[in-house]
């Protein structure tokens, strides 16, 4: 890597995982780094992500991991290859945080917590000379090229030799990611794909019984309850996965939903709705379900019969009543088929601010191989601001770490002089 002068000054706007990783790479090379964040402290969304157990990365082989980035796999290939699951675990170990691989292949700190890792990371950054500026909300550029910030004390500016923007997408606005940067980059001629919810829940369409969404009975009794184990697939049967999800007041959310959310969202945008197929008994074969459903039940109710023969009860039974007509419930073949392939019609994704992450952002065509904006020399972009998306499972953080690291390396090349920029 080209050497850089300790007199170089780099501004990093955004104190999430991408910005902090860029700060680390630069500071350890002797660059003076200033990190600006709109919130009272950095890493707020990182801490939220770790609330239920910090999923740092995934243990999948690199090529399998790359496929989780869908259409952007090729754009991220070299970057993620350089900092995939194994280097992420080594990096965490360097901070004194040991990790383990869960049964799903996901990687977690042994104590499952985000706060100890963030504390150790910030201590390393401060020891390397990184300066943090809280409550500094970026508002674009001044005419002289300086960065503009809104602070409790009024507007201030900051001049730097290079800038890394790592402002996130537009989900969880209360934690600082509000997408306001889109307009400022577009004003400078940067191509930005519209921001859309990713890893999000969905509202259901009117049910088969003609009701507008869930019934009052389902909302009162089962909203917030998980359905497990279940399997799901797209309407064409592709992408089958097993897991769990949660019924909400208006639809569905949870890890299994998030795994399908990108394609479901795009199908809704194109056709007005999307169908998600549910297998309520993934451990039972079709013939077994049909045989049990077809058994005479005598005076017993259908609910009692299905509970005793197949273990279907509670939220699963209510969902069948919700989505099927009485005629469908009374026909054994239709009922058996529905238990294994229950179509759930989704009407709309939940609002972007509720999503775990966002799709869209700065187009890869708008940056060069160093993650520098072609329309703004000396300005680099990393993290969720870029136009990529991935399911939960460690893939989001992995790409944020990797692109933050790559953008910092791009900055070092830029600071090395005109020769590395192709100007000499």
Closest CA to 257 of 397, 354, 339: 354
Regarding whether 289 and 182 lie in a shared domain, the answer is no
11: three-class secondary structure by DSSP: strand
Looking at residue 418, its pLDDT comes to 67
Asked whether residue 4 is domain-assigned, the answer is: no
Tell me the C-alpha to C-alpha distance, in Å, between residue 357 and each of 117, 196, 385: 21, 9, 10
Mean pLDDT of 4-22: 89
Looking at residue 424, its pLDDT comes to 43
The token duo for 260 is 């399908």
What single string gives the DSSP state of each residue in 324-335? S-HHHHH-HHHH
Mean pLDDT of 32-55: 91
Of 314, 349, 384, which residue constitutes the final position of a domain?
349
Regarding whether 208 and 89 lie in a shared domain, the answer is no
Distance (Å, whole) CA 344 – CA 342: 6
Distance (Å, whole) CA 213 – CA 215: 7
The token duo for 329 is 């419930």
Regarding whether 400 and 340 lie in a shared domain, the answer is no
Burial class (CB in 10 A: 0-12, 13-18, 19+), 250: middle
Regarding whether 133 and 13 lie in a shared domain, the answer is yes
Mean pLDDT of 218-231: 94
Regarding whether 415 and 278 lie in a shared domain, the answer is no
Regarding whether 362 and 341 lie in a shared domain, the answer is no
Regarding whether 118 and 93 lie in a shared domain, the answer is yes
Q: Which of 8-22, 27-41, 165-179, 196-210 has the lowest mean pLDDT?
A: 196-210
Regarding whether 231 and 171 lie in a shared domain, the answer is no
Looking at residue 417, its pLDDT comes to 78
Mean pLDDT computed over every residue of the chain:
93
334-374 pLDDT per residue, tens: 999 999 999 999 999 999 999 999 999 999 999 999 999 99
Burial class (CB in 10 A: 0-12, 13-18, 19+), 253: buried
Regarding whether 216 and 337 lie in a shared domain, the answer is yes
For residue 161, the domain's CATH number is 3.50.50.60
Regarding whether 385 and 287 lie in a shared domain, the answer is no
Regarding whether 37 and 182 lie in a shared domain, the answer is yes
201-218 pLDDT per residue, tens: 999 987 544 455 799 999
Mean pLDDT of 169-181: 88
Tell me the C-alpha to C-alpha distance, in Å, between residue 237 and each of 3, 171, 234, 278, 279: 53, 30, 5, 10, 11
Question: Can you say whether residue 8 is alpha, beta or left, with left for phi > 0 and alpha for psi between -120 and 50 degrees?
Answer: beta
Looking at residue 14, its pLDDT comes to 97
Regarding whether 181 and 298 lie in a shared domain, the answer is no
Q: How many CB atoms lie within 10 A of CB 94?
A: 11
Asked whether residue 303 is domain-assigned, the answer is: yes
Of 296, 317, 349, which residue constitutes the final position of a domain?
349
User: Total domain count for the chain?
Assistant: 2
Asked whether residue 2 is domain-assigned, the answer is: no
Of 349, 366, 398, which residue constitutes the final position of a domain?
349
Asked whether residue 1 is domain-assigned, the answer is: no
127-146 pLDDT per residue, tens: 999 999 999 999 999 999 99
76-117 pLDDT per residue, tens: 999 999 999 999 999 999 999 999 999 999 999 999 999 999
Determine the structural domain holding residue 241 and report its residue range. Answer: 202-349
């Amino acid at each position: 890597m080209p050497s850089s002068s300790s007199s170089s000054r780099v501004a990093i706007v955004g104190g999430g995982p991408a910005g902090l990783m860029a700060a680390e790479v630069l500071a350890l090379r002797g660059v003076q780094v200033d990190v600006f964040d709109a919130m009272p402290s950095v890493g707020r969304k990182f801490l939220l992500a770790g609330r239920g157990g910090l999923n740092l990365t995934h243990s999948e082989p690199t090529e399998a991991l790359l496929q989780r980035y869908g259409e952007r796999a090729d754009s991220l290939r070299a970057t993620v290859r350089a900092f995939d699951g194994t280097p992420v675990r080594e990096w965490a170990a360097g901070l004194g945080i040991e990790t383990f691989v869960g049964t799903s292949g996901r990687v977690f700190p042994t104590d499952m917590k985000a706060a100890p890792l963030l504390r150790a990371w910030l201590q390393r950054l401060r020891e390397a000379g990184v300066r943090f500026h809280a409550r500094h909300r970026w508002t674009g550029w001044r005419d002289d090229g300086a960065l503009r910030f809104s602070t409790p004390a009024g507007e201030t500016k900051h001049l730097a030799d290079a800038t890394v923007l790592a402002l996130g997408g537009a989900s969880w606005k209360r934690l600082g990611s509000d997408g306001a940067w889109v307009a400022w980059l577009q004003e400078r001629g940067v191509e930005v794909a519209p921001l859309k919810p990713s890893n999000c829940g969905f509202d259901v369409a009117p049910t088969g019984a003609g009701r507008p969404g869930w019934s009052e009975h389902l909302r009162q009794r089962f909203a917030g309850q998980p359905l497990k184990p279940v399997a799901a697939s797209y309407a064409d049967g592709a992408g089958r996965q097993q897991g769990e999800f949660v019924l909400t007041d208006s639809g569905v959310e949870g890890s299994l939903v998030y795994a399908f959310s990108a394609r479901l969202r795009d199908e809704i945008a194109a056709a007005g709705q999307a169908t998600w197929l549910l297998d309520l008994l993934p451990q039972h074969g079709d013939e077994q379900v049909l045989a049990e459903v077809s058994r005479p039940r005598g005076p017993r109710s259908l609910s009692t019969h299905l509970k005793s023969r197949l273990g279907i009860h509670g939220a699963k039974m209510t969902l069948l009543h919700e989505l099927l007509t009485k005629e469908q419930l009374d026909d054994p073949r239709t009922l058996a088929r529905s238990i294994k392939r229950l179509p759930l019609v989704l009407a709309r994704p939940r609002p972007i601010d509720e999503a775990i992450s966002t799709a869209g952002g700065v187009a890869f065509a708008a940056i060069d191989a160093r993650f520098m904006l072609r329309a703004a020399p000396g300005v680099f972009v990393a993290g969720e601001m870029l136009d990529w998306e991935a399911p939960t499972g460690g893939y989001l953080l992995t790409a944020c770490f990797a692109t933050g690291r790559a953008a910092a390396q791009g900055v070092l090349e830029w600071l090395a002089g005109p020769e590395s920029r192709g100007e000499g």
